[in-house]
Amino acid sequence: MPAAQHDAWLWIAGGNRTAVFNNARDAVDALAEIATVATEVTGWLYQYDRDLTGFVDGTENPSNSRNR
* Domain around 5: 1-68
Query: What's the pLDDT at 33?
Result: 93
Report the predicted TM-score, pTM, of the whole model to 2 decimal places: 0.58
Q: How many domains does the chain have?
A: 1
If pLDDT is split at 50, 70 and 90, which confidence band does 49 have? Answer: confident
Q: How many residues are there in the chain?
A: 68
pLDDT in tens, 23-45: 999 999 999 998 888 888 887 76
Share of the chain above pLDDT 90, in %: 24
- The band of 67, judged by pLDDT with boundaries at 50, 70 and 90, is very low
